[in-house]
Amino acid sequence: MADKCVEKQTYQFRVQTCNEGGESDWVKTGDVLVKEEIQKPVLDMKLAGALVVKAGESIRIEAGLRGKPQPEVKWVKDKATGDNPRVSIETGTDYSKFLMIKSKRTDTGKYVVTATNSAGTFTGYAIVNVLDVPGPVRDVKVSGIGVDKCRVAWDLPEDEGGCEVDSYIIEKCETRRMVWSTYSASLVTNYCNVTRLVEGNEYIFRIRAENKMGTGPAVESKPITARTQFNRPGPPESPEITKIGKEEMTVVWAPPENDGGKSVTGYILERKEKRAVKWVPCTKSTISERRMKVSNLIPNHEYQFRVKAENEVGLGEPSKPCRPVAAKDPIEAPGPPGSFKVIDSTKTSITLGWAKPIYDGEFTIPNLNEKQMYEFRVSAQNQVGWGRPATLKDAVNPKEVLEAPEIDLDASLRKGFTVRAGCPIRTLRYYQRKTIPQSHLEEARCR
């Protein structure tokens, strides 16, 4: 090698060989221009396919290097160029080595190496997958809560750890004891139907995902109480008695407004005598219909009834009792009064009249306002109860009713009568006027 040459100068060189027999002739070279030889960089990645390492292990990547002048080498991951104390890079004339210690799952990605000199740039890359345990499962929900069961479901982990999740582990804990126990260690679905819970106890569940690298962190659910989400039905309205006999009564009732979220499956009808304290069921089992004929009553004794509704959850609260009713042969309630009309009216009152019901009637309502409209109805009552009401067709307002006067003569006067001349004639006439009803006695003398 000829050194100490000056760049960009032209030189000639000669060479000869020597041995014991002598020297050879000189052999000259042609003109040689001294200059830097340029070669584009070339990287030869010493890696076939992706590099897979376990979390905690080191990541080693090596590349062969060529190029003149000596290329500058730079390593980056996913375009990130920040310094990392776990990373060291060693570059020689013909190689470059990348080393990252204590790898983490987040170190997974694409590592790019770039060699650059005056002749150009060469880029290579390596795919690294760091295997680790799965990340936490997401969105744990508990539904379908019953007295001894529930359903726990969750979403898959956002990061499965670089390899497929094999199974899930679900644990449960009673909050009053705070002792965890494994319910299932080999779930392959992202839900679990949990049974054998104790009614009224509060529970927390936690779930972990598992892959070949191990088990991920646990995620807890919100506390739930083992009980049905439905309730017992509310109380029905007070029952009514539709038919009465001296030894039996027919009782009917309406369903409760609140069925507790589950359909009513039956009713319990209870009875007691008016002065009794204890309620006694009328049947040994529930009643599917909303009516019942109660027999074997004691004649002339007064009875009250109440009813309870039942669904899958249980028996609801009782209704209010009906009014006491005596067990005796029926007397029907009166029908509606007839001929209901306004008889008289003043500025402050209205007089109403009606006829006795078909199957007694007048009343004056005082202190009314003549500027208001009023509606009226009337009902008749007997010992059994109130009958159906009769209603005026239209609303009325108080006002004076003006009528022409009427005269009502005695029937005997209408046939004629005889008096002596000069004697006074006395007649009795009745005048009726709306404003001031009165009678007048008029005297007339014959002339």
pLDDT in tens, 332-373: 666 788 788 888 888 888 888 888 776 556 777 888 888 888
On the CB side of 181, how many CA atoms lie within 13 Å of its CA?
9
- Higher-confidence residue of 49 and 80: namely 49
Please state the domain extents for the chain.
1-35, 39-131, 138-225, 240-326, 338-391, 406-445
Q: Do 39-131 and 138-225 show the same overall fold?
A: yes
Q: What angle do CA 222, 223, 229 make, to 5 degrees?
A: 105
- What Cα–Cα distance (Å) separates residue 134 from each residue in 160, 161, 381? 4, 4, 82
Q: Please answer whether residues 323 and 345 qualify as being in contact, where contact means their C-beta atoms are separated by less than 8 angstroms.
A: no
What would the pLDDT profile of 197-222 be if each residue is shown by its tens digit? 998 899 999 999 999 999 999 999 99
pLDDT of 332: 61
CA 33 to mean position of chain CA atoms: 89
Give the span between the Cα atoms of 55 and 181, in whole angstroms: 29
240-326 is classed CATH 2.60.40.10: yes
**For residue 29, which phi and psi values (nearest 5 degrees)?**
-95, 170
CB 118 within 8 A of CB 124: no
**Residue 65 pLDDT exceeds 90:** yes
The full length of the chain comes to 447
Q: Which residue shows structure tokens 């009528």?
A: 403
Residue 439: pLDDT band with limits 50, 70, 90: very low
pTM for this prediction: 0.50
Whether the per-residue pLDDT at 414 is higher than 80: the answer is no
Q: Which CATH class is domain 138-225?
A: mainly beta
**Contact call for residues 243 and 330 (beta carbons, < 8 A):** yes
What digits encode the pLDDT tens for the residues 220-251?
999 999 987 788 899 999 999 988 998 999 99
CATH node for 39-131: 2.60.40.10
408 contacts 380 by C-beta, under 8 angstroms: no
Q: Nearest-CA neighbor of 313 among 257, 229, 237?
A: 229
Other beta carbons less than 10 A from residue 168's beta carbon? 25
